Amino acid sequence: MLVRCVRIINPFGDPVDTYPGVRVGAVYPVLEIAYFTDAHYVRIIDDDDGDDPGTIWDPEMFETVDGHFPACWSAAMTGDGSLRLAPGSWHRPNFWNDYFDRDPAAMADYADGKAAVLADASAP
């Protein structure tokens, strides 16, 4: 899935002209989409991304360029109405906590999921 940035909303919810890591007009692959009861975001590979897990942004900042869902994505719903679309291995409990704690299995799951999303995004 690819999205184009059409406006920038900073982490405090304010519209701004510029912000590190994202540019109006740029196209980004989407790693994950999450809708929780109190927040929602898209995780993209941004302009400043290196080995980090991408960055999360307000979906209102983007328009869809290519709506094809990566083949590695699956959906996960919880009892509170939350919904996430992401590589399947990322849905396990505490995945992101383990990733940020540098757990080797979580790091490998992240790298595999990111590679699969990027390969799918670049496929003809």
- At 48 the pLDDT is 66
| Structural domain that includes position 24 | 2-122
Domain count, the chain: 1
Which one has a higher pLDDT value, 48 or 108?
A: 108
| Percent of the chain scoring above 70 in pLDDT | 94
In whole angstroms, give the CA distance from residue 33 to residue 101. Answer: 22
* 0.85 surpassed by pTM: yes
